Amino acid sequence: MSFHSLGLSEALLQAIAEQSYTTPYPIQQEAIPVILNGKDVLGIAKTGSGKTASFALPVLELLQKTSPAHNRFIKVLILVPTRELAVQIAEVFQGFSKKLPRKVRTLAVYGGVSINPQMQHLPGTDVLVATPGRLLDLLDNHALSLAQVNTLILDEADKMLNLGFEEEMNKIFALLPRKRQNLLFSATLADSVDVVQKKILTQPVKIEIEEPELDLDQIHQIAFAVTAERKGPFLRYLIKSENMKQVLVFVSSTRTADNLVVKLNKNGIQAYAMHGQKSQGARMMALNRFKSGEIQVLVATDLISRGIDIQFLPYVINFELPRSPKDYVHRIGRTGRADASGEAISLITPEDEHHFKIIQKKMKKRVEILESNHIDLHGY
């Protein structure tokens, strides 16, 4: 199936092609026609399954049939749990909007920064991507109106409820017009999500995308015991001594990603950081350069990792372990795809040992930990 068969206009198809999207993901194949038909949707799909485009594309298409937003009367409201996700979704909408005949204005608003610039940018906004708390702050300041909202989207609803946003969400629901299209996306259909969907969705089309079972036998897992001080040099030693050409390195924070990239580049290893503070355009460009071999090492945080889809990736390195065993399995699952073998390497400090034992127990696989203190890292 191609995007041409989903009912999208030529302007959107051009924008899709420019952003190197070739074949729609399963969630996009199922959700786009349903949303274009004006139906409510309950979408159960993991982060990284392509769900942002699955609602962004049809919403932008539908907005072409409406007049531009007037003053502070927004047309589409998207509620999300975090600042990073708000920025990411806004960038996706902006990227797909560039060639549309009817210009669509998208704005992301979130807490932790001054409210005044956000208030100043609100007039004329069609699509507002907001965290619940900041949206209520803006409403208290009479900075916008929800009276003309025709589409409500909840993204990562399970995470929003886990973070305790239920009360804020109920206040927002009460202010919305009764007649509207509702789209709810969640990684799981937890009881709390079920309560919310029954409250806001009307005869929804349920779309559930199950992740294919990961074959861990195709992935050769190995770990190295290393002190925190030797981690950076040891990573560079691994990449150079094994002549690794395409390596995806996982870290736990944006700061670590940036610092690691600086050190790798200084040592002649071409690297780029992928995290939530990079623009969507910059991330797409880096990913394409990584796939083509122009960039040797991609250093990514878990927030971004689910959007990294590479068919033949030979190496994944856990520079830092993730918090959960599920995230560990997802990380190493970036390699060993499409019947190709892959290698997953973890760097384990003494502080990591207990957590790594838990990860192995959960995935029911033992990973050999090799000593590294005998390796001379001078010059790395």
By three-state DSSP, how is residue 14 classified?
A: helix
**pLDDT at 342 (0 to 100):** 84
> What CA–CA distance (Å, rounded) separates 337 from 321?
21
**pLDDT at 207 (0 to 100):** 93
The domain spans of the chain are 3-208, 216-371
From residue 285, alpha-carbon distances to 19, 125, 224, 282, 291 in Å are 9, 27, 32, 5, 10
Distance, CA of 89 to chain centre: 9
Lowest mean pLDDT: which of 70-74, 163-167, 256-260, 297-301? 163-167
Nearest Cα to Cα of residue 100 among 143, 135, 147, 60: 60
Which pLDDT tens digit goes with each residue over 31-81?
Answer: 999 999 999 999 998 766 788 999 999 999 999 999 988 889 999 999 998
Whose structure tokens read 């708000």? 86
Nearest Cα to Cα of residue 209 among 189, 226, 236: 189
CATH code that applies to domain 216-371: 3.40.50.300
Biggest alpha carbon distance in the chain? 69
From residue 212, alpha-carbon distances to 2, 27, 215, 337, 364 in Å are 21, 14, 9, 11, 18
Which pLDDT tens digit goes with each residue over 338-363?
Answer: 556 689 999 999 999 999 999 999 98
Torsion of CA 229, 231, 236, 238, to 10 degrees: 140
Structure tokens given for 125: 């906004």
Neighbours of 186 (CB within 10 A): 25
Do the domains at 3-208 and 216-371 have one common CATH topology?
Answer: yes
Fold of the domain built from segment(s) 3-208: Rossmann fold (3.40.50)
Q: What is the DSSP string of 18-49?
A: HTT--S--HHHHHHHHHHHTT--EEEE--TTS
What is the pTM (predicted TM-score) of this model? 0.71
